[in-house]
Copies of this chain bind each other. A is one copy, B any other.
C-alpha cells in the first residue's frame, strides 16, 4: 500500500520524522542500551531530557517566567474537574463560553463544583458560530472565564483571545495548541491533551500563572493539585514517561521546522486550500461561520448525504484514513490536519474528493 495519510482527530498522526526517530532508538535511547520507556523518571538522563523538553516548549510559545509548565497524566478531561478545584480560590462561580461539545463537557463537570454562568452560547447558531464578544454576559465576580479555543468535533476555532481584564482566562487548547504563536500572558491557564499536536494520549500539558496556585477545594486529590504538581516538577508520582519523551521529540521537531510562525503559515495555507476546494465544489459543504472555521479540524458534508458512508469507505481504501466525522456531530466527514499533516496529504484528499465527485 502506498503512503497513508491519517486524518484522525486524536490520537492523531505525529510527524513522520519524530516517529522514525522514536522507532530507530526504541531499544537504544541515546545510545544508552535501553529504551526511553524503561528508565526511571528520577534518573538524571530522564531529568535532563524533560528539562530540555520544558525549555523547548517555553521557547516555542515564549512562555513568560511567571508561568509554570506541567506535564500531567491523563487527558484534558481530567482538567475539567481540576480547574474549578484549583481556580475557584474562595469564589463560588465561574464563567463558561459554550461553543460546542467540548465546552459542554467542561461545563457539566464544573457545575459539580461551582455555579456556572454561561456567559455566551453558540446554541442559536447550532454551534456553527461564536456569539460576538461584545454580547458576552461576563460576570465581574467570576473566579475565571473558560472557553475552548478550538472545538475539535464541529471544527470551530477562536480567531482571537477574549479580553477578560483581571479575571483569569482559562482555555482548552487540546486541538490547536502549538498550531500558531500565542500570547501566553493573556491567560491564567492553558491546557491541552497531548494526543493532537503534542504526542501520545495519556498526557496533558498545563501552563498556569503561578500566582493562581495554592488555594484548592479541600477535597482535591493530591494529584489534582496544580501547586503540588508544580513544586514536584510534575513528578509527585511516576509520570507517563514515554509520552513525555515523545512530546520532547515533537517540540524539537517544531523548533527544527523554524518555530510556530512558520508552522502557523503552513497551517493557514493547508486549511485555506481545503476550505477553498469545499466552497468551490457544488458537491461538498461546510457549515461553520467562515470567520470561525478551524484550521485544525475541517468538517464537511456531502449535499447527497446518503453517499457519505461510501465516501469514507473509499477514502480509506485510497489511503486517506479516519475521515469520518464524530457521531456527536451527526456524522459527515472531518479532516483533522494538525501540525503533522503535510500539504501533500491535503492535496491527496482534494484529489480524492474531486475523483469521488466525478464518479
The residue in chain B whose Cβ has the minimal distance to the Cβ of A3 is: B33
A160 at the interface (CB under 8 A from B): no
Q: Which of B37, B43, B236 contacts A14 (CB 8 A)?
A: B37
Which parts of A1-52 form the interface with B (CB within 8 Å)? 1, 3-4, 6, 8-14, 19-20, 22-23, 26-27, 33-35, 37-41, 43
* Known A-B contacts A19-B27, A39-B8, A81-B223; A200 and B241 likewise in contact (beta carbons under 8 Å): yes
A202 at the interface (CB under 8 A from B): yes
* Known A-B contacts A73-B73, A219-B113; A38 and B14 likewise in contact (beta carbons under 8 Å): yes
The residue in chain B whose Cβ has the minimal distance to the Cβ of A199 is: B37
Q: Which residues of B contact A27 (CB under 8 A)?
A: 19-20, 23
A240 at the interface (CB under 8 A from B): yes
* Known A-B contacts A202-B203, A243-B202; A4 and B33 likewise in contact (beta carbons under 8 Å): yes
Bound together, the chains give a CA A316 to CA B8 distance in angstroms of: 42
A238 at the interface (CB under 8 A from B): yes
Q: Which residues of B contact A195 (CB under 8 A)?
A: 238, 241
In the complex, the answer to whether B40 meets A19 with C-beta atoms within 8 Å is no
The residue in chain B whose Cβ has the minimal distance to the Cβ of A9 is: B40
What distance in Å separates the Cβ of A199 from its nearest Cβ neighbour in chain B? Answer: 8
Q: Mark A135-161, 1 if CB is under 8 A from B, else 0.
A: 000000000000000000000000000
* Known A-B contacts A73-B75, A78-B221, A81-B223; A201 and B239 likewise in contact (beta carbons under 8 Å): yes
Bound together, the chains give a CA A94 to CA B288 distance in angstroms of: 53
In the complex, the answer to whether A223 meets B74 with C-beta atoms within 8 Å is yes
Bound together, the chains give a CA A20 to CA B35 distance in angstroms of: 11
In the complex, the answer to whether B238 meets A34 with C-beta atoms within 8 Å is no
The residue in chain B whose Cβ has the minimal distance to the Cβ of A219 is: B219
Q: Which residues of B contact A259 (CB under 8 A)?
A: none
What distance in Å separates the Cβ of A315 from its nearest Cβ neighbour in chain B? Answer: 14
Q: Which of A19, A74, A237, A238 has the most CB of B within 10 A?
A: A238
* Known A-B contacts A11-B39, A27-B19, A201-B238; A221 and B109 likewise in contact (beta carbons under 8 Å): yes
Which parts of A158-204 form the interface with B (CB within 8 Å)? 193, 195, 200-203
Q: Which residues of B contact A238 (CB under 8 A)?
A: 10-11, 75, 77, 193, 195, 201-202
In the complex, the answer to whether A200 meets B43 with C-beta atoms within 8 Å is no
The residue in chain B whose Cβ has the minimal distance to the Cβ of A16 is: B27
What distance in Å separates the Cβ of A99 from its nearest Cβ neighbour in chain B? Answer: 19
A224 at the interface (CB under 8 A from B): yes
The residue in chain B whose Cβ has the minimal distance to the Cβ of A218 is: B112
In the complex, the answer to whether A12 meets B38 with C-beta atoms within 8 Å is yes
Q: Which residues of B contact A242 (CB under 8 A)?
A: 11, 200-202, 242-243
Q: Which residues of B contact A113 (CB under 8 A)?
A: 219
A222 at the interface (CB under 8 A from B): yes
Can you show 12 pairs from A to B with CB atoms below 8 A apart? A6-B38, A19-B35, A74-B223, A75-B239, A77-B238, A78-B221, A109-B222, A200-B243, A202-B202, A202-B243, A219-B219, A243-B243
Lowest 10 CB-CB distances: which A-B pairs, in order?
A: A202-B240, A77-B237, A81-B221, A73-B74, A4-B33, A23-B26, A200-B242, A75-B238, A202-B202, A201-B238
